[in-house]
Amino acid sequence: MINPVIVAVVVMTVLCLLKINILIAIMVSGVIGGLVGGLGLSTTISTLISGMGGNAETALSYILLGTLAAAISHTNIVTLLAAKLSKSLKAKGILLVLIIAFVGCFSQNLIPIHISYIPILIPPLLVVMNSMKLDRRAMACGLTFSVKWPYVTFPVGFGLIFHGIIANSMTQNGVPFETTDVWKAMWIPGLGMLLGLFIAVFFSYRKPREYKNVHPEINLEQNVKFTSREWFTLLAIIAAFVIQIFTGSMPLGGLAGILILMLTRVIKVNEVDSTMAEGIKLMGFIAFVMLVAAGFAEVIKATKGVDSLVVSSANLIGGSKLLGAIIMLLIGLGITMGIGTSFGTIPIIATIYVPLGIKLGFSPAAIVCLLGTAGALGDAGSPASDSTLGPTAGLNVDGQHDHIWDTCVPTFLHFNIPLIIFGTIAAMFL
């Protein structure tokens, strides 16, 4: 029997690479996956629609943060930020990518705001990137690195959650493992991701690339002063982040920021509708993609194709440790590409991977590495993952950055390939 997960992921990938609209690609591949999995057309459609609520909070976050970003774009903060960075970096595009990549890592641990910093920080910087003739594919790799590498490598913030899922999955399947020890296995795949970032920045996308300035009114040479309008805007940004941290709710943080801008009259009452419309235009499409992606994942789960895929992969391995490691990682890649979440992949594959790893003679640390790397694979490069949708949301506000060819393909090549190589090597020697 043809596995519905493989069919759905392959169809989605092919359609996306052919530049078919991402929404259509996800919906068509979800329907085909459901039909192949025996759900029937009506059940597939109803499952797709009912599953869309899975990303409702994230989608709403994009809309509200997009509105906040639209309001910010009309203040002098944009001009000031662009001018300061332009002068201090002096056309050093590589340095800009690396700074944002590593500072962005704090969004996963120190200040756990995940992707919400991207639609606020990146749009104002596009004029700086354009002046540097920076290839946005390099920045896309830097942004995806910032939201993925920390949780893969470090047990802090979202990383603590990810490592906890790995440790719990190990324990539940008969191999007790401490959350605090997971990083000792995962730092090696993390090193592979770091290498991938350096290859992207220093080699693959080093050459200058021309972009049009959609906002030519921004003069990087002018002296800009902070007024009360800018201070209130800064207050709104800080409030959005702080409230999100303490409540764990991105929508609430975004709403708080917007309300502060309204109360301080940075956004006037008669401008609220136009600002909201601009925010929806900015982030609405990405938000809806997130909704449909959740529905797609629900269809994939309903087919039970993931379980059969994991079981059938075990039958192919035989007794080879090397083949076992490679196949286990590739299966993880396919599953995560389909459901769009590393965190959700781990419990699914652990029921087979843990006993299979023991049978093949892998150490507990090696099994942890295989589990974590298999889960991490596909998050970068998946058209339906927030690790790719987030960077695109920031880089494509002027319509000059393609989600598939400028975000998904570069991040897939520069992070998934090193993860497979370094994950395999680690599993063989741990």
CA quadruple 179, 182, 184, 189: dihedral, nearest 10:
-150
* Predicted confidence band of residue 254 (pLDDT cuts 50, 70, 90): confident
H-helix segments, 225-381:
228-247, 250-263, 272-302, 305-317, 321-339, 342-360, 364-376
The listed range with the strongest mean pLDDT (93-97, 288-292, 305-309, 316-320) is 93-97
C-beta of residue 288 within 8 angstroms of C-beta of residue 99: no
Q: How far is CA 330 from CA 6, 192, 257, 312, 335, in A?
A: 11, 16, 42, 13, 9
pLDDT in tens, 369-409: 999 998 888 888 888 788 888 899 889 988 899 999 999 99
List the chain domain ranges.
Answer: 4-429
The fraction of the chain above a pLDDT of 90, given in percent, is 23
205, 141 in Cβ contact below 8 A?
Answer: yes
Distance CA 398, CA 2 (A): 41
183 confidence band (pLDDT: 50, 70, 90): very high
How many CB atoms sit inside 10 A of residue 270's CB?
7
Answer yes or no: are the C-beta atoms of 292 and 81 closer than 8 Å.
Answer: no
Angle formed by the axes of helices 158-172 and 364-376, to 10°?
130
Region 268-277: what's the mean pLDDT? 82
Q: What is the pLDDT of residue 218?
A: 55
Pick the range with the lowest mean pLDDT from 119-123, 297-301, 308-312, 362-366. 308-312
- Name the residue with higher pLDDT: 217 or 148: 148
Given this model, what pLDDT does residue 368 score?
93
Task: From residue 423, give the alpha-carbon distance in Å to each of 238, 274, 369, 385.
Answer: 38, 49, 7, 21
* Contact between 134 and 85 (Cβ < 8 Å): no
DSSP string covering 300-325 = HHHTTHHHHHHHHHHHHHTT-HHHHH
Angstrom distance (rounded) from CA 15 to CA 147: 26
Cβ proximity of 373 and 329 under 8 Å: yes
Segment 192-211 mean pLDDT: 94
Q: What is the mean pLDDT of residues 32-55?
A: 87
Q: What is the pLDDT of residue 380?
A: 86
